[in-house]
Amino acid sequence: MPPQFSSQPIVAFMTISVLLYNPRTHLPTRICNKHIPATLNSEHHPMQHPDYEARRNRVLRKFREAGIDSLLVSGVANVRYLTGFTGDSSWLFLAPDHHVILSDTRYETQLQTECPGLDVEIRDAARTVLDLAVARISAHGAKRAGFEAEHSTFATWQALSKHLASTSAALIPTSGIVERFREVKDRSELSQIREAIQIAERGIGVVRSSLRAAQTESDIRFLLESAMRDFGGQGTAFEPIVGVGPTAALPHAHAGHRKLNEHPVLLVDWGAVSSHGYRSDLTRVFISEKPTKHIEKVYKTVLAAQQAAIAAIRPGARCADVDRIARGLIADAGFGPFFGHGLGHGFGLEIHESLRMSPLSQQVFEPGMVVTVEPGIYLPGKFGVRIEDDVLVTPSGCEVLTSVPREFEQSFVGVLA
């Protein structure tokens, strides 16, 4: 899905063949050749265990640069990234030799399973997570207590300030410390992202092969969501965008009541959540009747812009420069005013992560980063085209992880009556 606009400038801080099994019948449904994990079944192939302690130690090594001696991690995805804990309402207090999750009784058993070996403090109903955090900061003798500015409300800051007023601790806002590490994916994360992509691609296969003229955008959305669940998805990465004709001209459209037979253009932007919480994000346009020359021109312009951008992604390339390549091609074709959002975004545990390709980005690609590449042209009241793929930056260039066909002629679909 298209990246959100930032409220502030973004600064840098085996090819194998497998049988695909229908999860209901356990019968092979088709053969495919592509880069995919050996299986989707996480029960038989558990996630390669991430080294959460090593992740926390990398964050600790940033403390001096950030001017802090402890850090309250309150971002839900950040806590998960650093501990493996999948619940919420819980903070991680991080200081040298002092890693502890501050949680509540609802999560006591879950924490024992998900975070073995990690110190846990459970509060009762008479105390808040904030009380526990204040006590930790005080007991630790922190002088410069960092907190995550982007994941703390003003009210939280006020309360922390009030409680710490009588101590020698200063509250230091930090920004993007953990997010910066999350931009570069490790092996366990890449295998999860590949799983999320495979679930999404199998889901769209079901939708594509069963399109009917009277189906509405909502019908297609529900079928897609259900198919991804059938293929092992823990959920949808976000509410799928399904738009026919004029709806497709809205970059963040909600699926509504427009029927497939109302316009030749069907845009679907969708993704799945893998067994361990990682996401995928793709967009395809399907063309259900003979397209006009205008539709063909728009489609081929978007595809050319996307392919040129992907060809430029490599370690050391500036995100803003890659964005400029795609934006320039679209402008040269006369559609400049109709491509308003950034070219792509990082994703992983969250659908929009801190890596951004836009004219404002000051970020530079590194091996291990994953990013969407999703130029679009939106013609209000008529139709829109966006083509979105997921790309991994490799040591020598990049690898397109997604494999749903994207050539113009491959976008033609048959529609049942």
Contact residues for Zn ion, defined by CB under 5 A: 1, 269, 281, 283, 372, 388
CA distances in angstroms from 402 to 174, 195, 205, 313, 388, listed in the order given = 35, 11, 13, 15, 9
Report the nearest approach of Zn ion to the CB of residue 202 (Å).
Answer: 17
Take residue 317 and report the two structure tokens written for it.
């390339």
- The residue (of 217 and 281) whose beta carbon lies closer to Zn ion is 281
- The residue (of 83 and 306) whose beta carbon lies closer to Zn ion is 306
At position 338, the amino acid (one-letter code) is F
Report the nearest approach of Zn ion to the CB of residue 309 (Å).
Answer: 14
- The residue (of 307 and 372) whose beta carbon lies closer to Zn ion is 372
What is the C-alpha to C-alpha distance for residues 146 and 149, in angstroms, rounded to an integer? 9
Instruction: Pick the closest to residue 272 from 194, 388, 385, 357 (CA basis).
Output: 194
- The residue (of 151 and 279) whose beta carbon lies closer to Zn ion is 279
Report the nearest approach of Zn ion to the CB of residue 345 (Å).
Answer: 6
- The residue (of 245 and 375) whose beta carbon lies closer to Zn ion is 375
* Number of alpha helices (DSSP H) and beta strands (DSSP E) in the chain: 11, 20
- The residue (of 104 and 388) whose beta carbon lies closer to Zn ion is 388
Report the nearest approach of Zn ion to the CB of residue 248 (Å).
Answer: 13
- The residue (of 236 and 288) whose beta carbon lies closer to Zn ion is 236
- The residue (of 95 and 330) whose beta carbon lies closer to Zn ion is 330
234 in Cβ contact with 275 (< 8 Å) = yes
Residue 26 makes CB contacts below 8 A (sequence gap 6+) with none
What backbone torsions phi and psi does residue 414 show, to the nearest 5 degrees? -85, 145
Q: 219: which DSSP letter?
A: H
17 in Cβ contact with 36 (< 8 Å) = no
Report the nearest approach of Zn ion to the CB of residue 388 (Å).
Answer: 5
Take residue 358 and report the two structure tokens written for it.
């836009």
Q: Which residue has the tokens 């997921």?
A: 390
Report the nearest approach of Zn ion to the CB of residue 270 (Å).
Answer: 7
372 in Cβ contact with 389 (< 8 Å) = yes
Report the nearest approach of Zn ion to the CB of residue 273 (Å).
Answer: 14
- What is the rounded end-to-end Cα distance, in angstroms, of the chain? 30
Instruction: Pick the closest to residue 302 from 290, 288, 285, 286 (CA basis).
Output: 285
Report the nearest approach of Zn ion to the CB of residue 81 (Å).
Answer: 20
Take residue 72 and report the two structure tokens written for it.
């309250």
Q: Which residue has the tokens 């409680």?
A: 163
